[in-house]
Structure 1
Amino acid sequence: MSLSLRDELRVVLSRDQVKLVRIGRQLTLQGIYSRVLEKKSIAYTADADSSWSNAVKTLAAALSELSTKQAVASVILSNHFVRYAMVAASQTLSNEAEELAYAKHVFSQLYGTSAEASEIRLHQGSAGAAQLASAVDGQFLRDVRAVFAAANVKLKSVQPQLMTAYNNCHSHIPKQDAWFAVFEQGSLCLGLVQQGQWCSLRAIKVGADWLEKLPELLDRETYLSEVDTLADEIFLWAPEYWKTALPKSLKWKIHKLQPAIRASFAADYDERFALAML
């Protein structure tokens, strides 16, 4: 005997694609059983000015064609739509509102007045440590929420790709200093993690030869980073390159991270939809 639950709808908004995975759920005597019902990828023309209007339009069209009855959605945003900054700890800040205001000030210094319209999220670390902050255009998020409301789909969460990948596999990253990298077409987010805490992060534009040049990119980031480290290991999230040989390096130890997906998804797993199948 089993009881059907609301479907899950996993959505990945990339720079030039919208990917959707619909997951059916049933409550059984053994617990909740999930299975992939549908996978869909819709390409669109990326906005030349780094805008998001085409992403929202494509999402709206995709939801209108997908069976979304009683679905609950989670959205993962490409790093293309997200800005990041390290926010130094301050003992003068007494609550979350003050911390967010200070983070917005940091983003304004880095990115100018455009940061004032952003929604900012702090990814909490240890007390007294610098915090990783992310910023997304506020109008973009309002438009995304409106699309789901119009489709009568409950939107449970919106999360940056970087954090989705890190949360999925951080247990495989050792407690000592290490670099963590997330690749997506045209860009590489590269950060230093010390004792489980983010210490630095940069988004870098890369070309088709990015993997071959990864050791060079690491050399440069080590030089540019203001954090003193001897870290020589890098953990790479790039599911679509799982079968591609890694570059050889005398200095760097490069490890591929395999996404931790649910066992019931194994038969339907597709590297292109990895983020949506966690």
Structure 2
Amino acid sequence: MRDELRVVLSPEQLLLVRIGRSFTWRGLTHRVLDKKSVPCVDAGDGALPWSGAIKALDAELSGLAGRSAFATIVLSNHFMHYAMVPWSGAPMDEEEETAYARHFFRKLYGPAAEAWELRLNPDRAGAPQLACAVDCRLMDSVRASFAGAGIGLRSIQPHLMAAYNSCRARLQKSSAWFVLFEAGNLCLALLRQGGWSCVHTVRAGDDWYETLPCLLAREAYLTDEDAATDEVLLWAPGIDASGLDASALPESPGWKMSVLHPPIRPGLMADYDRRFAVAMSV
């Protein structure tokens, strides 16, 4: 069977996990064949934000060229743009929905949105839809990297959706703030009964978990009061070698904070490393 390659692409590092798959009397099994964290070198002034990451990706994939494998890649929230696109009230096909979403992104982000590839996350009729966008040049570079190595690219996912899907059982009916931490970036998403209500990304310093209550208070103030909730579900598996537990969370009388732990396939547990949680979760 073909190996499965899982990749997480961010400005500072590239994470790769190669998973072997085989059939046994117990059914399909998985085991980690290799995993590595590769630092991404800053390409310098004037370079595209992902240039160093793509260079690292090309170098790693060249060593896997010719292997029978398929891949899934997760893109850091540093590269993503999110928006809640209002319900239009008019029947539209997929092409019209994308055009409508692009118009909304242009209003939010300006002319640069014309060069972004968009995806919509369908929701119930009448509700705003979560949309994500990423520069077409990054998408083209990612696809070219895998094509050049002869590795089939099965899926490209934003970090927000990959994390949500990993913890879907916990999140799908929750009304809570879903907070994702990456080095230098926080993504604050408000869920209402598991549906998306608002999503914002902000820069994060080393003291992000100390300032988190203030950030949440600001976001809550800007949000519809009917959607208010004091529950905070934090996704930060790669924060450091020892991870983050409830004892490290800031104490705040206004918020009930807990840490999410994604489910890991049994066959991968022996090689589990929190830094690779996005790549190793079910």
List aligned pairs for 1:46-65, cutoff 5 A.
46=42, 51-65=49-63
Tell me which amino acid in the other structure corresponds to 1:186. Answer: G
Structure 1 position 8 matched with structure 2 position 11: no
Partners in 2 of 1:74 and 1:171 — Cα distance? 21
Pair 75,174 (structure 1): closer, same or farther in 2 beyond 3 Å: closer
Residue number among 258, 262, 265 corresponding to 1:262 in the alignment: 265
TM-fit CA distance, 1:92: 1.5
- Other-structure match for 1:242: 244
Partners in 2 of 1:168 and 1:159 — Cα distance? 12
Partners in 1 of 2:124 and 2:156 — Cα distance? 23
Structure 1 position 44 matched with structure 2 position 46: no
TM-fit CA distance, 1:29: 2.4
- Other-structure match for 1:144: 142
Partners in 1 of 2:188 and 2:151 — Cα distance? 34
Structure 1 position 75 matched with structure 2 position 73: yes
Pair 68,223 (structure 1): closer, same or farther in 2 beyond 3 Å: farther
Partners in 2 of 1:206 and 1:44 — Cα distance? 19
Residue number among 86, 89, 114 corresponding to 1:88 in the alignment: 86
Greater alpha carbon shift after TM alignment, 60-69 vs 18-27: 60-69
Q: Structure 2: which 5+ residue stretches go unaligned?
A: none
Identity of aligned residues (%): 51
List aligned pairs for 1:125-164, cutoff 5 A.
125-164=123-162
TM-fit CA distance, 1:227: 5.6
Partners in 1 of 2:185 and 2:95 — Cα distance? 32
Partners in 1 of 2:175 and 2:7 — Cα distance? 32
Partners in 2 of 1:109 and 1:174 — Cα distance? 30
Residue number among 215, 223, 230 corresponding to 1:225 in the alignment: 223
TM-fit CA distance, 1:66: 3.8
Partners in 2 of 1:58 and 1:206 — Cα distance? 24
Kindly indicate whether the alpha-carbon contact (under 8 Å) linking 1:199 and 1:227 is maintained by their aligned counterparts in 2: no
Question: Residue deviations 1:122-162, cap 9 Å, x none?
Answer: 01111221000000111211111111111010000000001
Partners in 2 of 1:172 and 1:229 — Cα distance? 19
Partners in 2 of 1:222 and 1:72 — Cα distance? 41
Kindly indicate whether the alpha-carbon contact (under 8 Å) linking 2:121 and 2:130 is maintained by their aligned counterparts in 1: yes
- Other-structure match for 1:17: 13
User: What's the RMSD between the two structures over aligned residues?
Assistant: 1.6
Q: Structure 1: which 5+ residue stretches go unaligned?
A: none
Partners in 2 of 1:170 and 1:253 — Cα distance? 20
TM-fit CA distance, 1:65: 2.4
Partners in 2 of 1:68 and 1:266 — Cα distance? 28
Question: Residue deviations 1:55-102, cap 9 Å, x none?
Answer: 111100011124761010000000011100100111214211111111
List aligned pairs for 1:143-222, cutoff 5 A.
143-173=141-171, 175-222=173-220
TM-fit CA distance, 1:175: 2.8
- SS of the residue aligned with 2:248? coil
Structure 1 position 28 matched with structure 2 position 31: no
Tell me which amino acid in the other structure corresponds to 2:209. Answer: L
TM-fit CA distance, 1:210: 0.6
- Other-structure match for 2:275: 272
TM-fit CA distance, 1:45: 2.5
Kindly indicate whether the alpha-carbon contact (under 8 Å) linking 2:172 and 2:195 is maintained by their aligned counterparts in 1: no
Length-normalised TM-score, structure 1: 0.94
Tell me which amino acid in the other structure corresponds to 1:115. Answer: A
Partners in 2 of 1:35 and 1:177 — Cα distance? 35
- SS of the residue aligned with 1:91? coil
